[in-house]
Amino acid sequence: MTPSVAHAGGGNQAEVGAPQAKGGRQDQNLSVETKIQTAVESSPRSARTGTLTPAAGNWDPPACWYEPAYSPKQIQAAVKAIRQMKVFGVGDFVGGAFDAYFKEGHPYKNYNLGKQGEGQFWAAAVNEKRKDDPEANSCDKLPFWVPEGETPKEPLAVSPKILAEYAYDELPVPGTEIAMAPEGATKVNLPTWAWLDKAKFKKISVTASIPGSGLSATATAVPASLSIDPGTADAETYPASGECPIQHGRIGSPRAKGTPADTPPPCGVRYLRSSGDGSYDLRATLTWNISWTSTNGEGGDLPPGEFGGNRHVTAEEIQSINR
């Protein structure tokens, strides 16, 4: 079932007409475009940013949840709008089902109009980034009533934890563009130094909140380590694990002038065979540790995230001159 989309205003705002609701013969739900707002509290100095991929393969940010959506007057207006859809009798078919639920006592009477201002109907919202995820169909309940100030027992009801997980998906991490020495082609059997611009790789925070609800949570990403994959088995990494940790606020180190060419770097790679007429596809992946806090005191850790980039590296044989 594909949820319909209805635009709902805040429950405590003045009633300004009905939400624009849509329904169909196969659609027995009323969902909303999320009202979650996000704010980046610290941002990397990078024109190119991306989204983290959770390092834990069995975890993803939420695909859907329930959030405050409709006042009684708005739900009444939404059903009325659906009834006005006259194509193939869709409006009467779907509107009748909604009236049975919201108006005729199964389970609500007269759209809860007598409780206007005392709560809201909570409805399903889908994470736009994960709308094609099968889990996006998990929020298949019709809107349900939640009195003002109460927390619904529904496991998928929006919470500080869900907001933190949503914020995780919005963290604008900088592109993992490593600097290397030598800058051009590297030489077989000589180390290539690699490092990251420490000015770009600082902690990043995103706060997600629903206006008027008092719900808010902040996810913070802190760079942890750089993983280097040389793109060939004919190579060695520095350190041998391929994981370059943060040391003294930076990952790796530029090669100072005058450093002997065979000096092992704190972070880098040594190619053992020429790339011939092509190049090796080196991949650098930065791991970020993620934590979260909220206004109600909840918090903790979320799975680390990864974001990487590729770089073409040409490895040439050292040319020798025989006299």
Q: What is the average pLDDT value for the chain, to the nearest integer?
A: 86
Give the tens place of pLDDT for each residue, 181-195.
Answer: 998 899 999 999 999
Q: What is the pLDDT of residue 15?
A: 38
Residue with the larger pLDDT of the pair 4 and 202? 202
As given in the structure block, the two tokens for residue 318 are 């050292």
As given in the structure block, the two tokens for residue 62 are 């939420």
Give the tens place of pLDDT for each residue, 60-95.
Answer: 999 999 999 999 999 999 998 888 776 655 667 778
Q: Assign 204 to helix, strand or coil.
A: strand
Give the tens place of pLDDT for each residue, 2-50.
Answer: 333 333 333 333 333 333 333 332 345 788 999 999 999 876 555 578 8
Residue with the larger pLDDT of the pair 58 and 86? 58
Q: What is the pLDDT of residue 109?
A: 96
Give the tens place of pLDDT for each residue, 219-271.
Answer: 999 999 999 999 999 999 999 999 998 887 789 999 999 999 999 999 999 99
Give the tens place of pLDDT for each residue, 135-181.
Answer: 999 999 999 999 998 989 999 999 999 999 999 999 999 888 899 99
Q: Are 169 and 34 a contacting pair, CB within 8 Å?
A: no
Long-range interactions of 248-252: CB distance < 8 A, separation 24+? 249/198, 250/195, 250/196, 250/198, 251/195, 251/196, 251/198, 251/201, 251/223, 251/225, 251/226, 251/286, 252/178, 252/193, 252/194, 252/195, 252/196, 252/226
Q: What is the pLDDT of residue 11?
A: 33
State the amino acid at position 111 in one-letter form: Y
State the maximum Cα–Cα separation within the chain, in Å, rounded to a whole number. Answer: 101
Q: What is the pLDDT of residue 44?
A: 57
Instruction: Please tell me the pTM assigned to this model.
Output: 0.83
Nearest to 208 by CA among 169, 167, 172, 170: 167
As given in the structure block, the two tokens for residue 311 are 């770089």
Provide the pLDDT confidence category of residue 122 given band limits of 50, 70 and 90: very high
**Stretch 124-139: mean pLDDT, rounded?**
93
Nearest to 114 by CA among 158, 143, 161, 71: 71
